[in-house]
Amino acid sequence: MELNNYSQKSKEYEKSLDSTYKKDNGIFYTDIELSQKIIDFLRIPSNAVIMDPCCGTGSFVLAAKHLGYTSIYGADIDNKAVTLSKKECGIENLKVLDTLANDGATVLKKFKLTKPADFVIGNPPYAPMVKDIVIDTSDYLFLRNVKDSGSNLFVAALYRAFDLAKADGVISYIIPKNFLHVASYSVLRKKILNEKTIISIIDIGAYFKSVRGEQIVLTVKNSHDENSDVSIYKYADDNFVKKLEVPQKFYSDEILLFESKEDYNIYQKLESSYKRFNDICTGYVGRGKSTNDDAICGKDIRKFSFKDMPVPKKGNKVFIQNIYSAEAGIIASFAGNLEASETVTVFTDGDEKMCRYILGFLHSRLCNYYLLKFCFNNSKLTMHTDAKYLKKLPLVEKGTTFNQIISIVKSLEIIDYMCDEWFEMVESLNALIYQTYGIDKKECDYIDARMKEIQSQRWNNDKRR
């Protein structure tokens, strides 16, 4: 059949589903164009057995058929979706089956397959397993693994895929990008790093417009090769563009999507040379808790100051807007002993000088580069300056530039906000931070260029400088 006709019918069916039902069950279908790109990218042998265990209306199975494959199998829990797929795709090996509730052996038996599949592909549902979102199985060990690994439907789909694919087979799934770094997924992440081989990760960004967050295409071999490299790709200009290869053994838990060799080298330099924020600042780091009317809100904070009040002279708190955007970067101020609402991230330190010193680092391009690249994993969506990210930041405790940085921060607190002198002093601060961290001229130029591509010109007004 014509792919355009199928695509239209698939979209119409998806639109007919209740939006709350779709969100709660993680149902967001992949368009035929992306499905074809992924299958073509995988370079699947012509005689391979291909299975999509959560096929929805069948974009992956139809894409495989269109590309000439014949041993194609698909299943989905939604009877109407499978019926539509059978009718429009003309593929017989499609079944109404809950592949999350049934183990791999049972699913293979339903398809009369005597061996696991060569390739398990698709876009499994991703939704937290809360309230009525449960998997109807008595397989206690499986449910415990899913719970320990983040209690999400896509996690369950990955565990099932390991049993559906051959020992040297391949699993290629579209999953949430935050799987790569969120702590709750650590158990499964480590299992993949220690027991499987990551062939590639494609960053496809916020591809599904109605889905909160960004996505990746994770492709793993169902066996482990300790000397393998992870190929990192970016979806850009309608193509999968290769960025670089990173040894899989480089990762022990979090998986960072380095976009270039320069990013990789700078990260290694910072990680090997300096302590983390958490090692030096032992005070409170977390959300504000005050409900008083005069408590500072995130919107009250500017870079180095407040909108409607002077910066306190003494105290031990720094307030940070909890909402973080790549375009603006960190927005924070020394806050003395003021109170903060829950829209503010607060950190405390017994040393007022250390508070201002860290404040200088937080506003630097180096810090925002590190946050964006290595804490938020290149996410372009709005993030939060929560403790789990701030505590990862590399921090030079007290270098030779310590007092100079404090002096600049104090000056930025009192001069006119965003005047010419303000911008000049911010540039002086950036230079001092680079010096403090031993960042050479080539690395400085690289970081500056990357951040100026991302941040709003408001914060990088070259003419004013």
pLDDT tens, residue by residue, 165-200? 999 999 999 999 999 999 999 999 999 999 999 999
Phi/psi zone of residue 285: left (φ > 0), alpha (ψ -120 to 50 degrees), beta? beta
Task: Give all domains of the chain, ordered by start, each with its CATH number.
Answer: 3-257 (3.40.50.150), 275-459 (3.90.220)
Query: How many Å is the Cα radius of gyration of the chain?
Result: 25
Q: Which amino acid is at 367?
A: C
pLDDT of residue 463: 46
Q: Is the dihedral of CA 40, 44, 219, 256 positive or negative?
A: negative
- Strand-strand pairing, 275-276 and 394-395: antiparallel
Distance CA 142, CA 155 (A): 11
Q: What is the pLDDT of residue 180?
A: 97
How far is C-alpha 396 from the geometric centre of its chain's CA atoms?
Answer: 27
**pLDDT, position 462:** 55
Give the CA-trace dihedral at 83, 86, 88, 91, to 10 degrees: 170
pLDDT number for residue 28: 81
Q: What is the pLDDT of residue 464?
A: 40
Which three-class secondary structure state does DSSP give residue 264? helix
**SS3 (DSSP) at 112:** coil
Nearest to 141 by CA among 120, 163, 166: 163
Place of tokens 């899913």: 146
Instruction: Supply the DSSP symbol for 415.
Output: S
Q: How does pLDDT run along the chain (465 residues), one tens digit per residue?
A: 567 778 788 778 777 777 777 777 777 888 999 999 999 999 999 999 999 999 998 899 999 999 999 999 999 999 988 888 888 778 889 999 999 999 999 999 999 999 999 999 999 998 888 777 789 899 999 999 999 999 999 999 999 999 999 999 999 999 999 999 999 999 999 999 999 999 999 999 988 877 778 999 999 999 999 899 999 999 999 999 999 999 999 999 999 999 999 999 999 999 887 888 888 877 889 999 999 999 999 999 999 999 999 999 999 999 999 999 888 999 999 999 999 999 999 999 888 999 999 999 999 999 999 999 999 998 877 789 999 899 999 999 878 999 999 999 999 999 999 999 999 999 999 999 999 999 999 999 999 999 999 888 887 765 444
pLDDT of the residue at 373: 94
Cα separation, 70 vs 47, whole angstroms: 8
